[in-house]
Structure 1
């Protein structure tokens, strides 16, 4: 899960830097007044979300499978502990 989170942050940072460069060069419009940073942050969120969804599908599925395995092991331990308590 940490790997997925770091990769998602990397995609966001890359999107932010690319969009900041495009705004700086003048390809994209600047925000109103002092809102330029907020404008670029919002654009980076909008651009990085679908990119992360498509590019990190395999990593997300692997992380999900790991979480399901951990939950299943926890349920099995809980069931084993309950059966030991009942046997005593």
Structure 2
């Protein structure tokens, strides 16, 4: 998961540098007044999203498998805890009825 996040951040950083360069050289229009920095960041986000979606597909699939496995483990642990609690409650209730 960390690997995917770092790769995604790298794609964004590359797009940010590219957009900044294009705005600096006048290929892309600059933002109005003091909004130039925000314009560059937003434009880099818009450009990096589809690039990451296509270029990082395999890594995203690996990360999602890891997340699913972790969720399944947590669910199994919760179910095991529930069954232990149920067994403890049943045995306590059975002992209370025999007393």
**TM-score normalised to structure 1 length:** 0.90
Please list, as runs of the form range in 1=range in 2, the aligned pairs for 1:31-50 lying within 5 A after superposition.
31-50=31-50
Shift of 1:80: 1.6
Shift of 1:84: 2.1
Alignment correspondent of 1:27:
27
- Rounded to whole Å, the distance in 1 between the matches of 2:85 and 2:38 is 57
RMSD: 1.2
* Paired residues, number: 88
**TM-score normalised to structure 2 length:** 0.81
- Larger CA Rg, structure 1 vs 2: 2
Gapped regions of structure 1 (runs ≥ 5)? none
- Rounded to whole Å, the distance in 1 between the matches of 2:47 and 2:61 is 21
Partner of 1:31, secondary structure, is coil
Gapped regions of structure 2 (runs ≥ 5)? 89-99
